[in-house]
Homo-oligomer: A and B are copies of this chain.
Amino acid sequence: MKNRRDFLKTAGLMSSSVIIPSVLGSCINTEESSSKNSGNSKVMQLSYKPYELELTHVFTLAGSSRRTTPVMLTQIHFDGLVGYGEASMPPYLGESHLTVEAFLKKVDLSQFNDPFQLEDIIEYIDGIAPGNYAAKAAVDIALHDLVGKLLNQPWYKIWGLNPDKVPDTSFTIGIDTPDVVKMKTREAAPYNILKIKLGHDTDREMVKAIRGITDKPLCVDVNQGWKDKEKALDMIYWLEEQGVVFVEQPMPVDAVDDMAWLTANCPLPTIADEALQGPADIKKLYGVYDGINIKLMKCGGMRAAHKMANSAIGMGMEVMLGCMTETSCAVTAMAHMGHLARWADLDGNLLINNDVFDGVKVIDGKVILPDKPGIGVVPV
């Protein structure tokens, strides 16, 4: 662990972008950039490093549980600056250290001489292979960090957004016995809005356990767990009485007609999560869900996420920002566009005990953005 942190710390303090193997340690350069461009500091050089996040609590979804999440840390060096990025690969999404490494090895940024041309570069990245959204996000985030540093401003400013208007982040209470749920709810005292994962037989018990401790607003994520639309509707009416503010992915992704019916009839906003990948999906979700949960690892990065937020707002849909378990790198990257969202679920970095970046903070439930250029994270 120490070595990895030292590597990042040192790399972050490098004043030159020339890759010096002894400093970067075990960081792996993509073949193309390292072979073609060694010594040319005006060419973007991508490097990456596998890492394993350790979760503070076992993480339980409807259907699986785990203790670690693999991530790939990326860097793009250019003209004396370093942009940091990250891919997070929760196993149920199908990406891994191996797939991300295979993807990154195909990336050749040497064909672009201007990092500012994000539309073209990201179109190229997107065209390398279908899928691989986390791998694409790892390049996209590092590019954005680099461009923000070239502009010498944080991304919230470049996007014209107010850092004080990021919604308070929700904090997730995992599925567990009532006593453990109550304990976790007490631990979540610093947060102003809580999120619970439902879709089990114990749903009402979970909610009641939390309501025994606090009347804070609750968000509900069902992860496709409800199969019957009438029962889902009854449950949502009950949840509304319990102070729930929205319901995320209540039904299976392919239950489109049932979901449209539920959205039209239920008293709470419905939010698409698994039903949503990238910008092209919004038109499929319009009229089916009230809003979308945008995650960098689903859509391929900050550029797609920002487009999706504006697209959804234009269509009158609600915007929620989410994350995977991630270091502060990717969570901070997403938080920069918080002003565009009604809800933020940006607790991924709070659930791990071996973060390697210092970035966004949560203080009294409020999301505090760093005001440094780019995404503003610093290796620790």
| A contact residues vs B (CB 8 Å cutoff) | 116-120, 122, 147, 151, 153, 157-162, 165, 279-280, 282-283, 286, 303, 307-308, 310-316, 339-340
Contact = CB atoms under 8 A, between A and B. Distances in A.
A314 B310 CA distance: 9
A119 B314 contact: no
A197 B7 CA distance: 64
- Copies of this chain, complex-wide, total 2
5 interchain residue pairs of minimum CB distance: A118-B160, A311-B314, A116-B157, A311-B311, A307-B310
Contacts of A147: 160
Q: Determine the main DSSP class of A at the interface with B.
A: helix
Contacts of A151: 151, 153, 158
Nearest to A308: B314
A160 B286 contact: no
Given A279-B313, A310-B314, 20 more contacts: A116-B153, A116-B157, A116-B158, A117-B161, A117-B162, A119-B159, A119-B339, A120-B162, A122-B160, A158-B158, A283-B316, A286-B286, A286-B315, A307-B310, A307-B313, A307-B314, A308-B314, A311-B311, A312-B314, A315-B315
A311 B158 CA distance: 19
Nearest to A307: B310
B160 A119 contact: yes
Contacts of A159: 119
Contacts of A315: 282-283, 286, 311, 315
Contacts of A340: 119
B118 A314 contact: no
A158 B308 CA distance: 18
A151 B157 CA distance: 10
Contacts of A122: 160
Contacts of A119: 159-162, 339-340
Contacts of A308: 314
A160 B311 contact: no
Contacts of A157: 116
A313 B119 CA distance: 13
Nearest to A157: B116
Contacts of A279: 313-314
Contacts of A153: 116, 151
Nearest to A120: B162
Chain B CB count within 10 A is highest, among A159, A161, A313, A314, for A314
A120 B157 CA distance: 12
A117 to B, nearest CB: 5
Contacts of A286: 283, 286, 315
Contacts of A307: 310, 313-314
15 contacts: A116-B157, A117-B160, A117-B162, A119-B339, A151-B151, A160-B303, A279-B313, A280-B314, A282-B314, A283-B314, A307-B313, A307-B314, A311-B311, A314-B314, A315-B315
A354 to B, nearest CB: 33
A42 B370 CA distance: 23
A302 to B, nearest CB: 10
B316 A160 contact: no
Contacts of A120: 162, 165
Nearest to A160: B118
A47 B157 CA distance: 25
